[in-house]
Structure 1
Amino acid sequence: MHNGSCLCGSVAFTIDGDLSPPSACHCGQCRKQSGHVWSSTWTHQDNLSFSASDTLSWYRASDIARRGFCSNCGSFLFWQHNKEDTISISMGAFDAPTGLKLSKHIFVADKGDYYDITDDLPQEAQ
């Protein structure tokens, strides 16, 4: 079981189930919304429950997915594809320790020009 929340605590959640190995997304949308690289894990949406969610808001940044954030503090928490029953959760929102390790970089073709990826993890163009 893993617990997490936004910065102000107005959105708090529990994951009761398996989490995928985390990835670091370098796409333009994640960089703009998070301020840099967005690292996330995913799980089946039925594994997610909320103890607080009054300020959880959703933004449709594209036709294929929505992004969940706290409307009070602005924390970017979730990414959910329209046609999938999984949900991605921000690694930064989890209470430590998570026991998870970054597994790969995705959308590296879109990465910012202001940094380099210097680890040996796999890199996917998209």
Structure 2
Amino acid sequence: METTRQTGGCQCGAVRYLARGELGYPHICHCRMCQKAAGNYFLPLAAAKRDHFELTRGEPKWFHSSDLVRRGFCGDCGTPLFYDIPEADFINIALGSLDEPDAVRPLMQSNTDRKMSWFHALDSLPVEPEPETPDRENAIAATNHQHPDNDTKSWPLGEI
């Protein structure tokens, strides 16, 4: 039987990680601390057992958002990566930092008293009628500095 394996990391590639096994309690947290840490309206998280988790490149910086919790992020690009309770046997991974974020579907929501009151109306918002122009898409692709959604031996590519 193949073990589930999730890889991920920050936008610039300075911090990468590997989690083996199923991720537990995939959920969306709406608390104000998670909103601030993510710079967004919520933060999707799931737990990896600490003994099945490893950093494969670099080290995150840590911010103690409370006396009980620290949050790991890339010190170079600022990507939020982890919600960590140091004495727990697990570490929470920010699901958007996974190489395949669609592979882990949140099953719960927490702290919904801070959930945006207008979320129910998102599907009724108009959709932009025109996608990016090919010229703009090509210009972005040609100058993309974002780490790809897979492990690399070195980063940026070509560096040793």
> Fold match, TM over 0.5?
yes
Aligned partner letter, 1:58:
W
Residue equivalent to 2:13: 9
- Cα offset for 1:98? 5.1
Rounded to whole Å, the distance in 2 between the matches of 1:97 and 1:41 is 11
Please, what TM-score do these two structures have when normalized by structure 2?
0.67
- Partner deviation per Cα, 1:12-63 (whole Å, 9 max, x = no partner): 0111122114100000011011122100110111111122124x10110101
Match in the other structure for 1:48: 53
> Which letter does structure 1 place at the counterpart of 2:36?
K
Name the structure 1 match of 2:87: 83
Secondary structure in structure 1 of the residue aligned to 2:103: coil
Answer whether contact 1:23 1:41 (CA < 8 A) is retained. Answer: yes
Show CA shifts across 1:80-107 (max 9, x none).
1133111000111111265321101101
Same amino acid, percent of matched pairs: 29
Which structure 1 residue ranges, 5 or more long, are not aligned?
A: 119-126
Q: Secondary structure at the match of 2:37?
A: helix
Query: Secondary structure of the equivalent of 1:101?
Result: coil
Contact 1:20 1:43 (C-alpha < 8 Å) held by counterparts: yes
**RMSD over aligned Cα atoms:** 1.7
Structure 1 26/94 Cα, relative in aligned 2: closer, same or farther at 3 Å?
same
5+ residue gaps in structure 2? 122-160
Deviation at 1:112, TM superposition (A): 3.8
Which structure shows the bigger proportion of residues in strand conformation?
Answer: 1
- Counterparts of 1:38-77 in structure 2 under 5 Å? 38-54=43-59, 56-77=60-81
Over alpha carbons, which structure has the higher Rg? Answer: 2
Query: Which is helix-richer, 1 or 2?
Result: 2
Distance, in Å, in 1 between the alignment partners of 2:95 and 2:61 is 18
Paired positions, count: 116
